[in-house]
Each structure stands twice: as structure tokens, then as C-alpha cells.
Structure 1
Amino acid sequence: MSGTIAHPLVRAEQERLRTAAADRSGWPGAVPPAGVAAPTSVEEVVSLMRWAHRTGTAVIARGAGTGLAGGASGIDGALVLDLSRMKRILEIDVEEQLARVEPGVITADLDAAASAHGLRYAPDPGSVGISTIGGNIATNAGGLRGAKYGVTRDHVLALDVVLADGTLVHVGRDTIKGVAGYDLVALVTGSEGTLGVVVGATLRLLPRPVRTATISATFVDIGAAAAAVSAITRSGARPAVLEIIDHATLAAIDALEGTVLSAQGGALLVAQTDGFGAEEEARVVVAAISSLAAAVEWSMDEADADRLLFARRRALPALEALGRPLIEDIAVPRGRLATAVQAIERIASEEQVRIFVFGHAGDGNLHPIIVTDTAAPDAPVPPAAQRAADRIFALALELGGTITAEHGVGRAKRLWAERELGAEVVALQRRIRAAFDPVGILNPGSTT
């Protein structure tokens, strides 16, 4: 580690270093950092950042390590700043419908705390039960409810951020509206720890829906299911949840759970409408897709909702049971979902790899999951799997989409992000980054 004086909060026990080396992405370049610090207060973060700035030590902010793009992976000589111990929900303001939290709060815990007051924290990433608010902010995480409620950035009102030199700043405000100055909250959200360390957040809460309707529809093939997504869009309905699952994934769920989903159709679409008009909107969705679907079922009952959502919730565990999943997250225009899925099927066949597709169809976000053998998570990605992933990223760009819709760029997708953004935008981003961190200690090698 750089410098001659160690900070009293920095630890270098081998087990801590090993744990801090990698996130869930399996990025093969991860190495144990030089040290780990687990502050419990803003003051400790300020002290650590001042020390790191003075000594030129690279800093990688980390929450629960659930990232899927290598953004929280260790690098040689770095300090990993583990913020998971800063996990207090400081306030639930019922009248203003907002929460003030520390970055280590688990996302599902915040939603549960809000629920006690009839409120909801709307973003719901797939890792909702284990990911932290700070990590969600760093990656601008999405989730199942993104089609209606957007991503994390849409629910962040203000942030407390420790800059690279240890300066503590408060950006944003506690009001729903406000246009004074640049939108630094939006800039920091999604910056993956390259502009500062988030140590506090003021988040927007919403009333919990008084009613929810859940719809499950099977289709002959994925093309028909994608056509149904377009039909729903044209209908004027705006489901809170609109998920698509391909036949290969349904078969994997059957293998794990003993179900017969794959025998019922070639693809599955699951939708939820919510609010006072949930039932009326559900009827609009059903009418829009009935001529395209092989079968449609819907219910207003909560127990039925759990049953109808079962397949989507078990999709990733089913694939994890088959081997090592490489979880990607492209997005394409919704009208091109069928084209994207069919092209991914061709890529799987030509590269002779197993690719399973499910995702948030309501906002065009697909998760092509490349499943390899059961090798260790830090083993190199097989060449065929890497070729398939690269072809999937190229496909997303060809269709007018993006190489990452919610997982972030991290280290795993840095070169592809540069290709998507273009040289001029990359240069602009680097100038912005240098303005926040002129020494270059914040998560070097990540993003662009």
C-alpha cells in the first residue's frame, strides 16, 4: 500500500483481503487488495479518504459485493472501503414520503421499514435481499418494477458524498422539485464509485399500492411473447412488472423445481398492474395479448400472485444449479425484443454455448445468461463463452440498444462502454472524473 504510515482503521488479514477481492461478476482480473477498512461513521470515511489522498492510495468503495460488472473487484495496492457496517435507517419521514439512510442498508430492509408506514421503496433489483442502497446508487440499479417506476436514479433526492480529498459535500435537496445548480445527484448516481464515496442518501418513497393484479401468459414461442409486449405498449397500459422468460429457462426451472412450465409453451410473460385501477388495467393487458397467447391467467389475490411470479423468481437459481452463470444485461428498443432473442439463440448455436434469456421486457432489458461448467468463479471465462458475450454486446449496439441496462460498466465492460459512448463522450467523462478526483485514486480502471 502506498505511503509509509498505515491508517489505524486499515486491516490486512488474509481472510478479509480474500473476501474483498471479488464481486459476483467473476471478473478474472480481480486480486486481493492491500488492505480493507470498514468504517462505521462519516467521520471515519473522511479520515480514510484524507489519508488515501495524501498517500496516493487507490480506493474501491464496496457494499455487499453483489455487483455483476467487476466494479467492486480488488486491484493491486488498493484499499477496499467496506461500507456494509454503515447500515442505519436514520429516518422515515411519512409526511414528506422520504427516507434518510446510510449506504450499507440492505434494499429489502428499507422497503420493509417503509411498508410499516404504508409506503414503498420502489426500486427492486434481483439482489434486493442482499444488495445495499449504496451499491444500488453506485450502479443505478434497476429491477422488476423498472417499467413503471424507473431505476434508482429516479428515487434519489439528495446524497452525502465524501470526495477524493476527504471533503464532505451534500448535493441535492429534500424537496421533490428543485432546479438550482447542476444535477450532481444524477451525476453521482451510477458513477460506480469514481466521483466520490456515498455516505448518506435521501430517497423518495411512494405509497404502497392498494391493489395489485398479476397476469401470467404462455406463448408458442419467444417471438409471440415479444409481440405481446408491443401489444401491451400500444394498449396504453403501463404494468409495474412485465417479465419475459424463454423456453430454455423454463426447462431449467422444471429441472430444479419439478414443475412442467416448459410443456405449457415456448415462452412465458408475467405482468403486474398496481394502484387503484389495477383491475381495470389488468383487463386492458389481458385483452391486448389474448389473441397472441396460448393461455392467459390472472388474479387479484396475493397468494395467486406468488404462484404466478414463481417462475421469474426461480429463473436465476435454476441456472445457477446448471453451472457457472455469466449474467449479462443488455437493453434494446422494445419493438426489437424478438429480433434480439432470436439472434441470441443463433449465437448460442454457432458458438456451441448454453444461453438462457429472461428479463424486464417492459423496458427492453434482457438478461442473456451464458452458463458454463462448474468451474470456480474466478476461473477464466471459456473462449467460446467470451465470444458469445462479445457478439451479444455487438448485437445490442446494432439494434440501437446498450451493453448494460442496470448492472453497470465496472471493469468487465469497459472497452464495450467506450465503443458505445464514442471517443468524444469518453473524453468528456474523463474530464468530469478528473475534476472530482484529480489524483485518480477513486476506483481506477473501472468504467471509462
Structure 2
Amino acid sequence: MPPSPTALGTLTGTVLLGSDIPAAYRADRSGYLPSGAPEVLVLAADVDDVRRAVTFAANAGLSVVVRGAGSGLAGGAAAGAGSLVLDVSGLNRILEIAPADELAVVEAGVSAAALDTAAHRHGLRYAPDPASTALSTIGGNIATNAGGLRCVKYGVTGDATLGLDIVLADGTLLHTGRRTAKGVAGLDLTSLFTGSEGTLGVIVAATVRLQPVPVDTVTVAAYFDDIDQAAAATAATLAARVRPAMLELMDESSLREAQDLLGLRAHAAGAFVVAQTDGFGARAEAEVVAEVFRDHTTRVRVSDDPETANELLAVRRAALPALERHGRVLIEDIAVPRSRIAAAVHRITEIAARHDSRIYTFGHAGDGNLHPIIVVPADDPGAAARAAAAADEIFATALELGGTITGEHGIGVLKRHWLERELPSEALATQRAIRRALDPDGLFNPGKAV
């Protein structure tokens, strides 16, 4: 039954109903499509719009699916029948940048790239660097505790999150955290909501940590004969006790596709690794990285030129868009101990052959987070089923190697049945109890995450 006109009158912001809601609001970048379509779409422009939408949904018996840029990769923003989509991308103001305290206060719809650009005017930067930094929003990054290319040195989004403003299931606006560099008063509610995937409340604003722009940055790139050489080189780099700001790996097939998309001269190589060092010791650390790489390959390039660095990093960032040209992609997100990277990639190669699936692997070698991307061509009717079976084995492989089924993309709806295989029953029960305590009626994102 559609909401009554009287009830709809309590909503503010831009409101669309039923068939007027664009089809894109059913899915996120994962491509997962739930059954049915959302009943109501609210394009919020401020916090009051959000609070009114949450209260309306609770009274109307609708679930709330929060959406920013829709760039999620686990189906967390997919919205089907009986749902109200709450689009917070319109909350896109940078409220404050405090250079002396090295922090910013931003609304949830601000992109990481926009914040980073604004921070640069003060000699600062926002360190988290998801591959989708140009379009993904801070709110979405916090909701999934997103990672990125600079994780190995600067950590994930949660490491840069100091405090949050959150609308709870009863419409209450909750403030968590602090503006200080440290503080341990009370339970850490900021960390509780970080990574909660829209299941505990609606993130509407955040106080985030900024970092000084490094005085120097050096990029080291290398081409290897095979993935074993590349994995050994990345492990040796970290064993040398240097901490590059990023340490990224691509297998042969993903490198080839990225170069083709960018129109670059193809480098015949079994694997590609790009590292970046920064700060006052950037050049000394870069030399250590280069020497370690040279123990495994002769094809090493070192540069302190920003344009060259951008070109090399563009290859890594182009990997996913390059694969999306060939059909629907299943973007997996396992993490394994760094010492098991080569073993994981070999197992993925075997899985691809066994299931006759096209799988391309790249990721963050610095923290063992790999992205096996399974391409599902539209003209192959059996590809989807084979891909699902391959993904199942990839998750099993991650757990067998002492890893996890998701390093940064979250559980969403696509990995929920695997969560019970990774988490002990006691841990899962505790998490579900917390969720019920904050959202007793199951208002937020039912059927997703925990």
C-alpha cells in the first residue's frame, strides 16, 4: 500500500514515489538487484530532511536504505520492495577545516577527493585514498570502513575518523567522538558505527583527521616475470622495515587490460608493482625499495616527478574500469597474511581454470588485500553460475590461508551467508544483539551485513 498523502506531507527534501524513482536506485556498483523496487526516494539536503525521512519510514513500515554515491561493491545500497531510499549525497558541505588541529568537519555527501583538494589549500591532505576517491562519499567510506592505496602507511578510513553525527532509528541525532588527537572517555561509539554498513543509523557528518602534505614523494615501479617474484619483492620490502605509503600489485592480465584502456604501450610482464614513499625520508626509503625490487627484477623505475607518478598510479586505478568494459564484474575483496599473497594468487588462478572463468587479480600488497575480479560476459549464459562457484572457492581460500572474506568493501548482502563461516557464533550473536538494541524494529538495511 502506498504511503498516504497526509503522511508524505511530513517529508522534506525532494521526494519521489514509485515509478518516478530512477531505476538506478535499486542497485549499487555491485550490480546486485533485489526483488521489487523502492517505494519512496528522499533526496535529503540537510539533517532535518534525514530525521524526517527516518521517522516517516518507521511510521509507514518501510525499511531505510541509505545511499551516497552508490559506489558500494557488496550490495549494501541495493533497495527493493518495501524500502525508502535515503540519498544523502546532497549533504555535501565542508563545514570546517581547522589547520592548527589538523582536522575537518564534513557532511556525509562530501567526496574524499573534494575534501583532499580543500585540505591541500592549507598544506594538509585527507590520507584515506579509496580507488573510487573521485566519486565515493565520506559517509559511504565510513559506513564500510573503506581502505585504499595508502592504507599500508596511513591506515583505513576508521583510522582517520575522530567523530560522527548519526541519526538513530527513533530520529535522535547522536554525536560521537571528539576533536582531540586522543581521548578515551566512555565506550568508543565512533568505532562502533564505522563499518556498520548502514545498519545502526544514518551517518550525516564526520570529524576527520587530516595529515600534512608530504614534503617529498618518490614513486618506484617494477615489472616482474611472474607473480611469485612480485609477491617476494613486496614481502622483502616490508621485511626491510620501510613503510611505503602505498604498495600495489597487479597480475599480468589486469595490467594488460589497464594499459589497453589508457592507450599505453604494453609492457610484457607477469606482474606489476608500484610503490610510493613520502615524507622527509622519502628518497632514502625509495632507494631501499628499489634495491629490494632489483633483487627480483631488472625492470625498475624510480621517479620523483609528479606527472610520472600520476601516470604510473593511473595504471593501477584503471584496472577496474578496464575490466568493466567486458561485462558485469564480481568485485571480490579478500585479505590474507602478506606472506600468503603468492599462494592466494596461485589458488585464484587454479580456481579460474577449474570454473572456466575470467578472473583478474590486483590489490594492496602492502596489507595483503587482494581484489580477484570475475568478469561475467553478457553473451555467455553459463558464466554467472560458474562465477558464483568460483567466488565461493575464493572466499574459502581466504579463510584457509588465515585471511578474511572482506578487507574493505564490507559484507552487504552478497557475502552475508559467508560471515557465519568466518565469525565465531558468539561474536556474531553479540553483533546482532547490538544491532537489535539500536534498531529494535529492523528499520535500517534489513537482511544486510550482520
TM-score range, shorter chain: over 0.9
Instruction: Mark the runs of 5 or more structure 2 residues left unpaired by the alignment.
Output: none
Which range moved further: 330-339 or 311-320? 311-320
Q: How does 1:413-432 map onto structure 2 within 5 Å?
A: 413-432=415-434
1:29 offset after TM fit, Å? 2.6
Structure 1 equivalent of residue 61 of structure 2 = 56
Equivalent AA in structure 1 for residue 291 of structure 2: A
Structure 1 equivalent of residue 161 of structure 2 = 156
Q: How does 1:233-244 map onto structure 2 within 5 Å?
A: 233-244=238-249
1:375 offset after TM fit, Å? 6.4
Q: Give the Cα–Cα distance (whole angstroms) in 1 for the partners of residues 405 and 291 of structure 2.
A: 33
Which range moved further: 28-37 or 346-355? 28-37
Q: How many residues align?
A: 445
Structure 2 equivalent of residue 394 of structure 1 = 396
**SS of aligned partner of 1:409:** coil
Q: Give the Cα–Cα distance (whole angstroms) in 1 for the partners of residues 258 and 198 of structure 2.
A: 36
Which of residues 18, 21, 40 in structure 2 aligns to 1:16? 21
Structure 1 equivalent of residue 7 of structure 2 = 6
CA contact (8 A) 1:17 1:36 kept: no
Task: Rate the CA distance shift 1:285–1:20 in 2: closer, same or farther, 3 A.
Answer: same
1:313 offset after TM fit, Å? 2.2
Q: Give the Cα–Cα distance (whole angstroms) in 2 for the partners of residues 271 and 42 of structure 1.
A: 41
Which of residues 300, 314, 317 in structure 2 aligns to 1:313? 317
Structure 1 equivalent of residue 331 of structure 2 = 327
Q: Deviations over 1:132-167 (max 9, x none)?
A: 111111111110001111111001111011100101
Which of residues 277, 284, 304 in structure 2 aligns to 1:280? 284
CA contact (8 A) 1:11 1:37 kept: yes
Task: Rate the CA distance shift 1:413–1:421 in 2: closer, same or farther, 3 A.
Answer: same
Task: Rate the CA distance shift 1:422–1:129 in 2: closer, same or farther, 3 A.
Answer: same
**SS of aligned partner of 2:353:** helix
Structure 1 equivalent of residue 170 of structure 2 = 165
1:289 offset after TM fit, Å? 2.2
Structure 2 equivalent of residue 409 of structure 1 = 411
Q: Which has the higher contact order (CA 8 A, sep 6+)?
A: 1
Q: Give the Cα–Cα distance (whole angstroms) in 2 for the partners of residues 152 and 348 of structure 1.
A: 32
1:256 offset after TM fit, Å? 3.1
**SS of aligned partner of 1:6:** helix
CA contact (8 A) 1:324 1:375 kept: no
CA contact (8 A) 1:215 1:308 kept: no
Task: Rate the CA distance shift 1:282–1:442 in 2: closer, same or farther, 3 A.
Answer: same
CA contact (8 A) 2:258 2:316 kept: no
Which of residues 29, 32, 36 in structure 2 aligns to 1:27? 32
**SS of aligned partner of 1:51:** helix
Q: Deviations over 1:41-97 (max 9, x none)?
A: 112212222222233321111101110000000021110100011111111111111
Equivalent AA in structure 1 for residue 426 of structure 2: E
Which range moved further: 29-38 or 403-412? 29-38
Check if 1:209 corresponds to 2:210: no
Q: Deviations over 1:250-304 (max 9, x none)?
A: 22234434434342x2111100000111001101111222111241110111122
CA contact (8 A) 1:61 1:80 kept: yes
1:441 offset after TM fit, Å? 0.6
**SS of aligned partner of 2:101:** coil
Q: Give the Cα–Cα distance (whole angstroms) in 1 for the partners of residues 306 and 386 of structure 2.
A: 43
CA contact (8 A) 2:26 2:34 kept: no
Which portions of structure 1, spanning 4 or more consecutive aligned residues, are displaced by more than 4 angstroms?
Answer: 1-5
Structure 2 equivalent of residue 302 of structure 1 = 306
Check if 1:78 corresponds to 2:68: no
Equivalent AA in structure 2 for residue 7 of structure 1: L
Task: Rate the CA distance shift 1:279–1:81 in 2: closer, same or farther, 3 A.
Answer: same
1:2 offset after TM fit, Å? 7.4
Equivalent AA in structure 2 for residue 398 of structure 1: E
Structure 2 equivalent of residue 438 of structure 1 = 440
Structure 2 equivalent of residue 343 of structure 1 = 347
**SS of aligned partner of 2:26:** coil
Q: Give the Cα–Cα distance (whole angstroms) in 2 for the partners of residues 375 and 127 of structure 1.
A: 28
Equivalent AA in structure 1 for residue 182 of structure 2: K
CA contact (8 A) 1:58 1:79 kept: yes
Equivalent AA in structure 2 for residue 47 of structure 1: R
CA contact (8 A) 2:2 2:39 kept: no
Structure 2 equivalent of residue 198 of structure 1 = 203
Task: Rate the CA distance shift 1:2–1:186 in 2: closer, same or farther, 3 A.
Answer: farther
Structure 2 equivalent of residue 289 of structure 1 = 293
CA contact (8 A) 1:17 1:32 kept: no
**SS of aligned partner of 1:311:** helix
1:385 offset after TM fit, Å? 0.5
Check if 1:139 corresponds to 2:122: no
Task: Rate the CA distance shift 1:133–1:381 in 2: closer, same or farther, 3 A.
Answer: farther
1:426 offset after TM fit, Å? 1.2
Q: Give the Cα–Cα distance (whole angstroms) in 2 for the partners of residues 115 and 25 of structure 1.
A: 32
Q: Give the Cα–Cα distance (whole angstroms) in 2 for the partners of residues 294 and 158 of structure 1.
A: 47
CA contact (8 A) 1:244 1:359 kept: yes
**SS of aligned partner of 1:209:** coil
Structure 2 equivalent of residue 65 of structure 1 = 70
Equivalent AA in structure 1 for residue 50 of structure 2: V
Q: Give the Cα–Cα distance (whole angstroms) in 2 for the partners of residues 422 and 31 of structure 1.
A: 33
Q: Give the Cα–Cα distance (whole angstroms) in 2 for the partners of residues 192 and 153 of structure 1.
A: 13
Q: Give the Cα–Cα distance (whole angstroms) in 2 for the partners of residues 42 and 255 of structure 1.
A: 44
TM-score with structure 2 setting the length: 0.95
1:103 offset after TM fit, Å? 0.5
Structure 1 equivalent of residue 106 of structure 2 = 101
